[in-house]
Amino acid sequence: MKDNGDWQMVTSENSGLPANHVTGIAEDGAGNLWFATYGGGLCRRSADGKDWQTYRAAAGSLANDYVGMVTVDAAEQVWAVCDAYELEDNAYPGGLCALSPDGTWQVYPRAAGEDCVLALEADRQGRLWLRTGGLMVSGGTTQCDGMREGPSRFGGSQWQAFDGTTWTAYDEDRAAAAAWYPHRSQRTRLGWEVVGDTMWLLEAVQFASTSGTGLLPGLNMSMIPGMGSFMYDYCLTTYDGREWKKQTDLPSAFRFGELVVDRRGDKWVSLVTLGDIVMGGGVGRFDGQEWTVYNRSTGLPSDYVAALSTDSRGNVWVSTMMGDLSRWDGSGWTYLPGRQGGRGDQDLGRCAEDRQGQLWFPSKAGVLVYVGNA
């Protein structure tokens, strides 16, 4: 493996990775890393880095080899989403695949369509939640091509829940918030982070005729094609197991995004404006009192945010275009351009941190690993 200072690029040429296009990474309780690859199946790297094992459809492990997402639940089951895929006039159906700790596999056909899975999470009740969709183009949804980075993952989405037996599909404005608060039918969970015993959620609350927002009586903007996404109140909410409390609106109107919480407790949201064109807005940091927005004019190289990540050192990592990374250390930004110091030029996804403190960033060209001590 070629070492370029504090960075290494892990590829199929210098490791046991079966394909360079990596769509997601998860760590299990033993410290093994699981890599979802597009075309190479699912790969496990042992905690000591000495052993690589690949699971492929031909061996009966997966629905197909185009794995778009991977996660590990509380029972140490490894869940992988295989995208529906067409190659040389051959159609490969998608599926949700589970590997139990005893080594047995179970493949569940995908329900409610075969859109791209943009998020995969296990909740406290052991259910799997899948957010599906993609960028809306002329009323249709783009076919998934293994991309999980960038603003396109926020458009045209739907949540599905799977309890091991039954699939339940939710429209976007009635959605996966049901995992935590089924009585709030007009709320959408866009992202959550648990801090201690409190859950922080990024929510979209749709304006309705009873909301007092000044809209015409009985008017629901979701009934007007192309207008629904503009008529939401985007906010951060907390739930401590007893009550829900709205903490703050997002820093500007009509903003969307994903949520991470750093070691200091600051909340970070990638800012996106939804419309006919999905536009980046940089990132916002909420310190408990006020928002600070970082964009091209205040420290970032680009307003386009491919992914947000945090690490145990207290850093926040912002992946932007062409492999660029920006690192916030609590006092300022360090810019790490793509194509320098061993970093590639592909957009980087959300990183996974292993037990040695190394950060693993997935991309279409392999996995960028940060092994420094900063």
Cα–Cα dist 44/24, whole Å:
12
Q: What is the pLDDT of residue 253?
A: 60
Contacts of 45 (CB under 8 A, 6+ apart): 15, 16, 32, 33, 34, 35, 51, 52
Q: Quick count: other Cβ atoms within 10 Å of Cβ 372?
A: 11
Please tell me the pTM assigned to this model.
0.85
Mean pLDDT of each 10-residue bin along the chain, 374 residues long: 66 97 95 97 97 94 93 92 81 88 90 66 74 53 64 63 79 43 46 77 62 39 43 77 83 74 94 72 94 92 92 94 92 90 86 94 95 66
**CA angle, 200 then 206 then 210, to 5°:** 120
Cα–Cα dist 9/2, whole Å:
7
**Hey, is 112 helix, strand or coil?**
coil
Nearest to 251 by CA among 300, 295, 214: 295
What's the CATH fold of domain 3-370? Answer: Methylamine Dehydrogenase; Chain H (2.130.10)
Q: Are 107 and 93 in contact (CB under 8 A)?
A: no
Please, what is the end-to-end C-alpha distance for the chain in angstroms? 21
Q: Are 269 and 202 in contact (CB under 8 A)?
A: yes
Cα–Cα dist 324/338, whole Å:
4
For residue 363, the surrounding DSSP H or E stretch is: strand 359-363
Cα–Cα dist 358/327, whole Å:
15
CA atoms within 13 A on the CB side of 90: 4
Cα–Cα dist 35/42, whole Å:
6
Joined tokens for residue 191: 């992202």
Nearest to 19 by CA among 2, 35, 6: 35
Contacts of 208 (CB under 8 A, 6+ apart): 186, 215, 220
For residue 68, the surrounding DSSP H or E stretch is: strand 67-72
